[in-house]
Structure 1
Amino acid sequence: MTGEKHTQVVIVGGGQAGLAVGYHLRRQGLDFVILDADPAPGGAWQHMWDSLHLFSPAEHSSLPGRLMPAQTGTPYPDAGHVVDYLTDYEKRYDLPVQHGSRVEAVRRDADQLLVEADSGTWRARAVISATGTWSRPFLPAVPGRGLFIGRQLHTVDYRSPGDFAGQRVVVVGGGNSGAQIAADLALDGHVEVTWVTQRPPRILPDDIDGRALFDVATARRRALDAGRSDTGGIASLGDIVAVPPVRAARDAGLLDAKPMFTRLTADGVQWSNGTHAEADAVIWCTGFRPALAHLAPLGLRGPRGHIPTVGTRAVGEPRLHLLGYGDWTGPASATLIGVGRPARDAARDIAQSLSG
């Protein structure tokens, strides 16, 4: 096909996972390109809400080869600091990222994979999908969702309490995003917040941060790989990291979660006992799904929308690797600190397969 470009490896996604595996592919001496839909560096971090901070100190939030510098005034860097770090990382290692290049499909074509992007088509002997989940927010099918006349937002739409001054806001979700956004709104003092969770929220002990969670996730993966019993991993400890704003709101008695409501009404939410709360906005902090639409032509989707893998390699297409989507593509691989090891393993695996 006229205008096709050739390389050994195409990485789809230029966030933390794409950059980490790019670092390791460079060390393996492979030719590769990184196609990233965002027009600027920083991955999903450039789209986070204003008050978001990492779960871990900078020294425990680094990609391979380059420690994240500390941020002045806080042990837990904010999202803007992470964007600066990823931007510097991309430049420091001269990684071949083509920003503003959205991949639409990956197809088989004889002994190669064809990667079709809006910027052109690439032929490659291996593809690494590292698109994450941020672009696929999940909204549950709750009765009455279409009746509610107020604003409905997802985590991806939230920016700051100033957007809700003087309003009544229902925050739905018992994970980190739900707790942090509920705390952010409650501490502002100008928003009436109702926090709703599917089950009673479980806040981790104050001394547990991202480094400890990575160690727990790694120990679980090793136990499972060795055929030992499941330790339960992070889920056995709790759901919410007690970052400073969450601690402050908790200690002030502002994080009193209510059980999940049964339906939305035109002007609010209603519980099974008939109790009703008026609301101007509902923020759905209900998670994400893997952004894998570009891989649909390969026909690999398995249970829960995941593609079955051994390590990072797709079971049904050995030329495809998936990286950074969660524990199913490597322990804590959706985190800055956790993605380095599976990125290294994927690069080594690809280098070995291409040398044969």
Structure 2
Amino acid sequence: MTDAPRAVDVVVIGGGQAGLAAGYHLRRAKADFVILDAQHEPGGAWRHAWPSLRLFSPAQYSSLPGRMMPSPPGGGYPSAADTVAYLSDYERRYALPVIRPTKVRAVRRSGARLQVETDAGTWRARIVISATGTWWRPYVPHYPGIGDFAGRQLHTAGYHGPETFHGKNVVIVGGGNSAAQILAELSAVAATTWVTSRPPRLLPDEVDGQALFDLATRRHQATLAGESATGIGNLGDIVAVPAVREARDRGALKAEPMFTRIIPEGVAWSDGTTLACDAIVWCTGFRPALGHLAPLRLRGADGLIPTDGTRALDEPRLHLLGYGDWSGPASATLIGAGRTAKAAVAEIMKQR
């Protein structure tokens, strides 16, 4: 790339599942676009997930538009590695114009266009699609004494498997799917204690990601129509993938109430009870990675960017994909990202 800014119709920031889904629809619309990805290889955040992680749906319900994800050997739920292979193949199959590694530093207004500043030069675009996801902003809540703990602390994003936890005493924090899957794995090799802010609830065994996506879509449509709808939370919080079912059946999914503080040797509750541990694994979620959009000054009081569908209310040249329900029903999932991207690109082509 030369030092002079390059002009393009659409810049997509992020080459993970949401960015590739956007690329598929932009390609079909014959748009002039590029995808800028900070990673060195395809696969998005899935490349950094722990090996035993499983999707919440079978492959046929975990696919991007145009190309079905192959079922893993033996069937069942695809792994993180299966997903990386699928996204890599998808990118090649549709010859998507991904430029990597390219780190986007800032997006700014520049007359009739948006200026995208990267570590490899500058782009000027009529439309910018931000699809950077959440993996790069792990969230750890603050508890008194968190800096005094003498053991090991790590977030889901830094968990790479059970090998270093054999024989240890481990506290796992969080009541979602990541916590349940990591607990299922670690409880086979370590003494584990699961702590949650509210009692965790497993979904019925027959409920997987397809059902969750359908529920999220109906809830979103009802909200737009000013109606009430049954939420996912009324069913439960955790998908019972096979490893979680196995842990449940051997009694490993018993959860304790959330501790109130951390002490050098472990954790403590308000009644004075303490528990010594070697490690704390924070399965406490992520926040949207939106730092590159800071110059646009679009965030609301909740830290999110107000949108109409995927389009930013205060900057109609910006669309956001793949950050969760606020940027489209179940848009942080593979199937949800594809459907949201289709609607976003249709609107973008009308903005010409």
- Name the TM-score class by shorter chain: over 0.9
Instruction: Report the CA distance between 1:327 and its aligned residue.
Output: 0.7
Instruction: Report the CA distance between 1:234 and its aligned residue.
Output: 1.3
The residue number in structure 1 matching 2:104 is 103
User: What is the distance in 2 between the residues matched to 1:12 and 1:303?
Assistant: 24
- Any conservation in 1 of the 2:156–2:283 contact (CA below 8 Å)? yes
Cα distance per residue 1:181-230 (max 9 Å; x no partner): 111111x2x2110110000001111100000000000111111112212x
Matched, 1:68 2:66: no
Tell me which amino acid in the other structure corresponds to 2:194.
Answer: W
Aligned residues: 351
Aligned pairs for 1:1-356 within 5 A: 2-186=3-187, 188=188, 190-229=189-228, 231-354=229-352
- Any conservation in 1 of the 2:3–2:121 contact (CA below 8 Å)? no
Tell me which amino acid in the other structure corresponds to 2:59.
Answer: A
Structure 1 runs of 4+ with >4 Å offset: none
Instruction: Report the CA distance between 1:340 and its aligned residue.
Output: 1.3
Change (3 A) 1:113 1:170: same
- Any conservation in 1 of the 2:149–2:262 contact (CA below 8 Å)? yes
Change (3 A) 1:102 1:2: closer
Q: TM-score, normalized by length of structure 1?
A: 0.97
Tell me which amino acid in the other structure corresponds to 1:185.
Answer: L
Cα distance per residue 1:41-82 (max 9 Å; x no partner): 000000111111111000110000000011112311111000
Secondary structure of residue in 2 paired with 1:63: coil
Instruction: Report the CA distance between 1:339 and its aligned residue.
Output: 1.1
- Any conservation in 1 of the 2:3–2:122 contact (CA below 8 Å)? no
Tell me which amino acid in the other structure corresponds to 2:50.
Answer: W
Secondary structure of residue in 2 paired with 1:169: strand
Instruction: Report the CA distance between 1:3 and its aligned residue.
Output: 2.1
User: What is the distance in 2 between the residues matched to 1:18 and 1:233?
Assistant: 27
CA RMSD, 1 decimal:
1.0
Instruction: Report the CA distance between 1:232 and its aligned residue.
Output: 4.1
User: What is the distance in 2 between the residues matched to 1:238 and 1:351?
Assistant: 39
Mark the runs of 5 or more structure 1 residues left unpaired by the alignment: none
User: What is the distance in 1 between the residues matched to 2:87 and 2:272?
Assistant: 49
Mark the runs of 5 or more structure 2 residues left unpaired by the alignment: none
Tell me which amino acid in the other structure corresponds to 1:277.
Answer: L
Cα distance per residue 1:240-262 (max 9 Å; x no partner): 11111111111110111000001
